[in-house]
Amino acid sequence: MAGLIYRRLSRWARPRTWVACAVTAIACLFLFDRRRTHLGVEVLLDAERWYTPARVVALFDVLGPDGRRLYAISEVTLDLVFPIAYGLLLATVLVRLVGWSGPLWSLLPIGAALADVLENITIATLAVSYRGTESALMWVAAVFTAVKSALLLATFVALVVGLAVTGWRAVFRGPRPNRATTSRREEI
């Protein structure tokens, strides 16, 4: 399965994909800031690394019914586009950057994006079904948030390591010979 995902991502690992994903992600970040400002809160749940049900209750009480409705709608619209954009961007960059080490690296941002989508759906469900008390589903949302955060951290570590290794190889191995040119030289 990882090999199939890696091959698909390899086909998309192109600058035009990166630009489209980056523009989409930046637009989402701008709209997230507008949402946060409109809701009148400093930090929403999906911008944290961890939270407790008490934090969810406190936030939902501050948001009120209209704020919770807006939050829920944005979680299943705008905040479903964002993980697809950043997940594809980071995965294709990793495929291009650390393709030499196998397909597993590219699964880190895919896993983060999947955890983000599950987090968003869970938060939206909590927001529309909120009754003023803590629930077990609030812990589930927090776990999805923590998993997303951990996988994003691992993704950025992989990017830094990949850049370092790629730079090291470029400096100390020099350019790689073109196989087509090398084959013709051997025939002559």
60-106 tens-digit pLDDT:
999 999 999 999 999 999 999 999 999 999 999 888 877 655 667 78
Place of tokens 């969810």: 56
Q: What's the count of helices (H) and strands (E) in the chain, helices before strands?
A: 7, 0
**What pLDDT is attached to residue 122?**
98
pLDDT number for residue 175: 58
What pLDDT, in 10s, does the model give residues 18-66? 999 999 999 999 999 999 999 999 999 999 999 999 999 999 999 999 9
| pTM, two decimal places | 0.84
Number of domains, the chain? 1
17 vs 1, more confident: 17
Q: How confident is the model at residue 9 (pLDDT cuts 50, 70, 90)?
A: confident
**Interior/surface letters 28-66, b for 16+ CB within 10 angstroms, e for the rest:** beebbeebbeebebeebbbeeeebebebbbebbeebeee
Q: How confident is the model at residue 176 (pLDDT cuts 50, 70, 90)?
A: low
Distance CA 58, CA 49 (A): 17
Cβ(133)–Cβ(51) below 8 Å:
no
For residue 163, the enclosing domain spans 2-187
pLDDT above 70 for 134: yes
